[in-house]
Homo-oligomer: A and B are copies of this chain.
């Protein structure tokens, strides 16, 4: 019931960032609050006092401190205030809000209906205009996850997400990108693929996220070497000049609907395949990518655990990508154990630089995986013959051109004056018996590294001395925990003692664990 009340309140900006949920603040003693039967958490509509066109929807919070809002004031969280676009002290009206119109479609989804493109567009419009409360976003996400999205619906959702914001245009016919669906610690291939591909001359403006639940994201690791928080303008200049970057993607405003959904999805640990595919492809399309390589790591402790799930994801990526003009290639890779040796920003950056410098003891699995992925990206270039990409990538890496490109990108983004050392508190974890390493638990190794302080303490983490297939003697060190603070060090060791993350067995057991063959 959108009911214009006669009393007005004075607008006030309340300097609280409630992320993309608009919040209105009323004093408990405000006469309007008492008379109108407003309740905390109810949705309200705030409009200019003349009932004009400026309107925002917000969730109501009640305040008992006149220093935040007074009894004759109506407080708005930062974004809601900016969205209303009126000055402080201006008169405003408050009314019970009607739900956003597209919520009907959400209710239809809850009832099991299939939604049309126009439904997803209407939802995207309302979401981006901040008309959805967090609970309404959660309802949408759960409804999609529970009933499932058909692939047409994933296509519609992706399209609606792309349309929800700006779309970059690099003015070039081939803009490459890569994305990894992993959950694999140490998997820093982007920091090798980008310099190799950019050295070849292909445009690859890579932006990455920071770690949320993992011990390091690409942005965290790159930050050991260079500044990653760059303005969109600076990023564009840099990319045009160097053909690539390794920046943090948080400052761009691409596919804003996706950001808003993720902010609710992540704390809820929701990640249905349909939402994931739409989210990834919408971001890449909005970023102006034309060619995308997706690396899906499969393994018992990876994010994607079964080959069937990975194959279904691949089909879905291909279906949606094809229809939206994005050339998508999906490779399935071995996600049974961490990649490289280091887990944690400094240790991972060390691995990456060892590979770039062609050091003899550089981690070979990281090198091989990066070359394989870079090769596939290079094959997006019509001048690179199918099957030749790997060799081209290897030439670029071996010749030092990838290293030179990385150094140029680091300088352009802003090189760190010095790289911090690995954490000085160290504990080497011995093998409990002789045998062969038959399994390494990605999740447990990630947990230990986080407990040790990664990614906040750049030097904290875990350094792996042994990988799956390696023979070990009893008491030989399997890995080393690095930390900077005694409490973290203690917690990480306690966690390790509960579950060291390594399984030592016989060569026969090893074979049973590694039946899957990974194609090139």
Interface residues of A (CB under 8 A from B): 1, 3-6, 14-19, 21, 25, 28, 35-37, 39-43, 59, 61-65, 67-68, 78, 96, 99, 103, 107, 110-112, 133-139, 141-143, 145-147, 210-213, 263-264, 266-270, 447, 450-451, 455-456, 485, 487-488, 491
Contact = CB atoms under 8 A, between A and B. Distances in A.
Nearest to A214: B1
Contacts of A135: 134-135, 137-138, 264, 267-268
Contact of A17 (B43, B64, B266): B64
20 contacts: A1-B451, A3-B450, A3-B451, A5-B456, A15-B63, A17-B64, A18-B40, A19-B62, A21-B41, A37-B211, A37-B456, A39-B212, A41-B264, A68-B68, A111-B146, A133-B267, A135-B268, A139-B141, A139-B268, A142-B143
B4 A17 contact: no
Contacts of A267: 41-43, 59, 99, 133, 135-136
Contacts of A139: 138, 141-142, 268, 270
B142 A63 contact: no
A107 B265 CA distance: 13
A16 B68 contact: yes
A360 to B, nearest CB: 35
Contacts of A37: 210-212, 455-456
Nearest to A109: B146
Contact of A16 (B4, B63, B96, B147): B63
Nearest to A142: B142
A17 B63 contact: yes
Nearest to A145: B110
Contacts of A110: 142, 145-146, 270
A447 B1 contact: yes
A103 B67 contact: no
**9 nearest A-B pairs in the assembled complex, by CB-CB distance:** A15-B65, A19-B40, A138-B138, A135-B138, A15-B64, A17-B62, A142-B142, A139-B142, A19-B41
Given A142-B139, A145-B110, A269-B99, A1 B64 contact: no
A3 B491 contact: yes
A377 B450 CA distance: 62
Contacts of A15: 63-65, 68
A255 to B, nearest CB: 17
Given A16-B25, A17-B40, A68-B68, 14 more contacts: A19-B62, A21-B41, A36-B456, A37-B456, A39-B263, A110-B145, A134-B138, A135-B267, A138-B139, A139-B142, A139-B268, A139-B270, A142-B142, A142-B146
Contact of A28 (B17, B62, B141): B17
Contact of A138 (B68, B142, B269): B142
Nearest to A77: B61
Given A138-B138, A139-B138, A145-B110, A491 B4 contact: yes
Nearest to A103: B269
Residue among A133, A135, A212 having the largest count of chain B Cβ atoms under 10 Å = A135
A27 to B, nearest CB: 10
A5 B488 CA distance: 8
B42 A213 contact: no
B3 A146 contact: no
A446 to B, nearest CB: 9
Contacts of A65: 14-16
A256 to B, nearest CB: 15
Contacts of A40: 17-19, 263
A221 B147 CA distance: 42
Contacts of A146: 110-112, 142-143, 146-147
A110 B138 CA distance: 12
B61 A18 contact: yes
B78 A64 contact: yes
A40 B19 CA distance: 6
Given A3-B451, A455-B37, A62 B142 contact: no
Contacts of A270: 110, 139
Residue among A138, A212, A456, A487 having the largest count of chain B Cβ atoms under 10 Å = A138
Contacts of A61: 16-19
A270 B487 CA distance: 46
A450 B3 CA distance: 8
